[in-house]
Amino acid sequence: MKGNEKINYAKVIVSISNKQVDRAFTYKVPEELAPFIDKGARVVVPFGRSNKKYEGYVVSLSDRTSAPENFEVKEIISLLDTMFTPEMLALAKWMSDKYFTSYSECLKCIMPAGISYKNSYIYEINQAIPENATLRQKEIYDYISDRKEASHQDIIASFGANASNILNGLIKNKIIVKKEKQTMKDLARLVKYAALSEKVSKESIRKGTAQEKVYDFLLEKGETPVKALKESLGITDSPIQSLVKKGIVKLFEKEVRRETARPSSEVIEKNIIWNDEQREAIERIKALMKENKSVKRPVLIHGVTGSGKTEVYMSIIEEVLKEGKEAIVLVPEISLTPQTVGRFVDRFGEKVSVTHSRLTMAERYDQWKNAAEGKVSVMIGPRSAVFTPFHNLGIIIIDEEHEHTYKSETSPKYDAREIAFKRGEISNALVVLGSATPSVDTYFKAENKDYELIHMRQRVKGEMPQVDIIDMRKELVEGNRSIFSRALYEAMKENIEKGRQTILFLNRRGHSTFVSCRQCGYVVKCEDCSINYTYHLYSNKLICHYCGKEEQNPEYCPQCGSKYIRYFGVGTQKIEDEIKSLFPDVPVLRMDMDTTSGKNSHDKILSAFRKGKAKILIGTQMIAKGLDFPNVTLVGVVAADVSLNAGDYKSGENTFQLLTQVSGRAGRGDGLGKVFIQTYSPEHYALEYAKTGDYEGFYSHEIALRRQMDYPPYCHIFTVLFTGESEKKVIELLFKLSDIMKVYNKSGDFEALGPAPALISKIKKRFRWKIIIKCKDEERLKNYVLYCVEKLKEKENLEGINVNLTLDPLVSV
Ligand code: ADP
Ligand code: ZN
Ligand code: ZN
């Protein structure tokens, strides 16, 4: 509370993920807490008929309540901390609206993970267990008795789910009691320190003793962690304890922030002289930052790989720091870009904090506090770093802005770029996007002057590798039925002989399979959607995963009449097998979903490869980003067709991005790099433009197609995905939803496609089907779909069905 105004009531968002309670509730503020509770405070409140205790967030304070007179207003139980700045509260409110998620879920998403206050049940012994109890009862009784108290979870974990019945029996007979317990992980790390008390003298200490050593040490060094003190002097606790008893030394606890590992770049850059493009980019961005506008226009830097974008980012950040402001840098995946991160660390030293998914909860909590308290001023990390609680944010930089990792796959399904724009608006900070292959949506906005567009067309050093597109239809006609073309095989052989490394890359996502002709390259597609059909093995049918249309699998190619028309099914395993038979003595590593399920397995594989433990690395697109290996001089894209025909309107865009990324990385140093792209559709525009690295050429082709087919950015797409164990129920309900949608679509402004199977039609026993709705107006589309889904929920029982709503998905479902 500020000043003398009297604040008695607080509006509190209760942390329950339930749409029905997604509003603020009024609570009384107890007098003793009033001076400490502010907007953004985290509190504990009673809720519901049983007054169960929940975590809550204070969103406003007032000296009166709008509750009716006879209404009992409950009281806040305790204060946990002040978690949110007003800016963060506003951001969460906006998110809950934008991503149709509850306010409390959005607040939790912003908060560092793992610090939530939790309710759990524990059991305690009430009286001795009778002799005639069963063995199982006695076991559980002993378990609790040994521990004094045991949580429900622990008992179930040790004795299985049916222990619940036994527990209930024991409670009924008053042998044990059940109690509610609240826990909040205290993530602050307290370290025990020793220091000399004030005004002490050495008189009572005998010369030459351990006590004297402690005294001298503390006198010289000042307060020291007890552990370090003992280690330095090689002593036990006892001399310290004796000194404490004499009042000469005092012990106390101090909160210490954990040091987290930070990568460092191996090459130190000195005396960088900006080239013309860099200087111009930096000047323009500086000018934009100085502009006195309430909302700063975002910047897109479109610069080829190696054009010196990172250098531009760092120079701009220096300016930001000079003005006493802070910077957030988002990168797609820290573990795959250690060199880039290392350059920031080298440049900004102690001012930088690096966050990533493998930090412990406690480490992340420390980083959050360091940022909130202004102990660091540059945060680098993946999408969640966009929530860094800086108070004086100057800039948010999003590198490789086209990457899918910026969009969260779990609720709230936020897009870090959208969050960045919103934060930029709230804090009047500048947002800078950078990419060699901007997403079509972003480039479209830049062309339409929503963003400032800066081009960087020249590589600072080194040359683009040579890219060859290999026509696999010719290989077949000339009698080569192997996965590898003759040219790629020869190049691999030569590379192995020269002791260099090779990467074989299968740009595959999901499990989609399509049907194509190996003789002429024809791909069977749905003419309505201009999307290729997906082959379903069990029904031997072709299904369009956009509109749901079905067709028989053709026996002969409709274009050339050949019988070489069948589903396309190359996997990384098959590539590995073939490599092993072609080059039996050559060590090979494989990186895909199967080999990377273990903890840190990514890093292990990549670092083994970096150390030269294998000559060939085979992998899916997850290796595309990590292609910064100096000894890799050859990259083979085994089948560009896999992503080209992924059954998605973004297939062309994704393929172009992947191939450009691959080409941009190979042979970064001495210009030795060579890239082979194998395909059955060499004339596809995405491949042609990727070969020359012509982004603008690609973009104009792609945007024309989007306009023609009415795909984003010319419309918005809403995906409604239902999943459930009963496929029949999933489909039935989607058809019912589709009927409701027809009723409310009198104007015909909404175009619905489906129901159709999701791109991945079954995951973990659950069937996945979807409806896609298109409309030009985002707000109307959202309202329409949410309304229809609500109507369905009112009418039908959706038990066992998971409803998944995504507006403008980055990756099609
Ligand atoms: P990008 O981020 O566009 O891929 P980088 O900023 O990583 O490009 O630059 C590529 C390489 O060129 C890096 O090794 C970087 O240190 C170096 N570099 C960048 N700018 C200059 C410069 N003006 N003079 C010399 N080297 C530079
Ligand atoms: Zn054919
Ligand atoms: Zn279709």
Per-residue pLDDT of 435-475, as tens digits, reads: 999 999 999 999 999 999 999 998 887 777 789 999 988 98
DSSP code, position 384: G
Please state the rounded mean pLDDT for residues 750-779. Answer: 86
Note the pLDDT of residue 630. 76
DSSP code, position 415: B
CB atoms within 5 A of ion ligand 3 belong to 526, 528-529, 544, 546-547, 549
Q: Give all strands (DSSP E) within 513-615, no chain letters.
A: 515-517, 525-526, 531-532, 534-536, 541-543, 550-552, 565-567, 588-591
Name the amino acid, one letter, at 359. Answer: L
Residue position matching structure tokens 């969103």: 59
Residue 812 lies in a domain: no
Residue nearest to atom 5 of ligand 1 (CA): 308
Residue 266 lies in a domain: no
Indicate the pLDDT class of residue 266, thresholds 50, 70 and 90. low
426 shares a domain with 285: yes
Q: Is 314 helix (H, G, I), strand (E, B) or coil?
A: helix
CATH number at residue 722: 3.30.70.600
Residue 149 lies in a domain: yes
Last residue of a domain, one of 143, 161, 185: 185
Q: Report the phi/psi class of residue 118: left, alpha or beta, with left for phi > 0 and alpha for psi in -120 to 50.
A: beta
Tell how far the Cα of 773 is from the centroid of ligand 3, in angstroms: 13
Residue nearest to atom 25 of ligand 1 (CA): 272
Nearest to 329 by CA among 264, 387, 265, 396: 396
Residue 461 lies in a domain: no
358 shares a domain with 235: no
508 shares a domain with 624: yes
Tell how far the Cα of 621 is from the centroid of ligand 1, in angstroms: 25
Residue 381, domain extent: 276-456
Residue nearest to atom 11 of ligand 1 (CA): 306
Domain count, the chain: 7
Q: Give, for ligand 1, the residue of 267, 270, 310, 343 to mutate: max count of ligand atoms closer than 8 Å to Cβ.
A: 310
Hey, what are 344's tokens? 């920031």
Residue nearest to atom 6 of ligand 1 (CA): 308
Secondary-structure breakdown of the chain: helix, strand, coil percentages, each rounded to the nearest 5: 35, 25, 40
Note the pLDDT of residue 184. 58
| Ligand 1, CB within 6 Å, residue ranges | 269, 272-275, 278, 303, 305-311, 460-461
Residue 616 lies in a domain: yes
Tell how far the Cα of 560 is from the centroid of ligand 2, in angstroms: 4
381 shares a domain with 431: yes
CATH number at residue 80: 3.40.1440.60
Query: Given the CA of residue 456, which atom of ligand 1 is nearest to it?
Result: 3
DSSP string, 102-138: -HHHHHHHHSPTT--EEEEEEEEE-SPPPTT--HHHH
Please state the rounded mean pLDDT for residues 521-541. Answer: 77
Residue nearest to atom 24 of ligand 1 (CA): 272
Note the pLDDT of residue 537. 65
Residue 552 vs residue 667, higher pLDDT: 552
Last residue of a domain, one of 411, 433, 456: 456
742 shares a domain with 697: no
Tell how far the Cα of 517 is from the centroid of ligand 2, in angstroms: 5
Note the pLDDT of residue 439. 96
Residue nearest to atom 23 of ligand 1 (CA): 274
| Helix pair 276-290, 309-322: axis angle to 10 deg | 40
Tell how far the Cα of 637 is from the centroid of ligand 3, in angstroms: 29
CATH number at residue 135: 1.10.10
Note the pLDDT of residue 267. 56
Q: Which ligand is in closest contact with the Cα of 273? A: 1
Note the pLDDT of residue 2. 44
60: Cβ–Cβ under 8 A, 6 or more apart, which residues?
10, 11, 24, 39
CB atoms under 10 Å from CB of 40, counted, come to: 18
Mean pLDDT, all residues of the chain: 85
Note the pLDDT of residue 26. 92
Residue position matching structure tokens 């093995």: 537
195 shares a domain with 141: no
131 shares a domain with 28: no
Residue 373 lies in a domain: yes
Q: Taking the mean position of all CA atoms in its chain, how far away is CA 57?
A: 25
542 shares a domain with 505: no
Residue position matching structure tokens 């009033």: 34
Last residue of a domain, one of 706, 741, 764: 706
Per-residue pLDDT of 467-499, as tens digits, reads: 999 998 898 888 888 889 999 999 999 999 998
Q: Which ligand is in closest contact with the Cα of 661? A: 1
498 shares a domain with 536: no
372 shares a domain with 240: no
Q: Give, for ligand 1, the residue of 314, 317, 455, 461 to mutate: max count of ligand atoms closer than 8 Å to Cβ.
A: 461
Hey, what are 251's tokens? 């012990």
Most confident of 114-118, 210-214, 735-739: 735-739
Q: Which ligand is in closest contact with the Cα of 313? A: 1
Record the pTM: 0.79
CATH number at residue 629: 3.40.50.300
Q: What are phi and psi of 252, to 5 degrees?
A: -155, 165
Query: Given the CA of residue 304, which atom of ligand 1 is nearest to it?
Result: 3
Hey, what are 299's tokens? 């910047």
750 shares a domain with 656: no
Q: Give, for ligand 1, the residue of 460, 463, 464, 628 to mutate: max count of ligand atoms closer than 8 Å to Cβ.
A: 460
Residue nearest to atom 4 of ligand 1 (CA): 306
Please state the rounded mean pLDDT for residues 93-99. Answer: 92
Q: Which ligand is in closest contact with the Cα of 562? A: 2
Q: Taking the mean position of all CA atoms in its chain, how far away is CA 30?
A: 40
d(CA 534, CA 509): 13
722 shares a domain with 587: no
d(CA 232, CA 88): 45
Tell how far the Cα of 37 is from the centroid of ligand 1, in angstroms: 49
Q: Which ligand is in closest contact with the Cα of 312? A: 1
Residue 262 lies in a domain: no
Q: Is 171 helix (H, G, I), strand (E, B) or coil?
A: helix
Note the pLDDT of residue 426. 93
Per-residue pLDDT of 200-257, as tens digits, reads: 777 778 888 888 888 888 888 888 888 888 888 888 888 998 888 888 888 887 777 6
d(CA 42, CA 57): 5
Query: Given the CA of residue 461, which atom of ligand 1 is nearest to it?
Result: 12
Residue 260 lies in a domain: no
Note the pLDDT of residue 1. 41
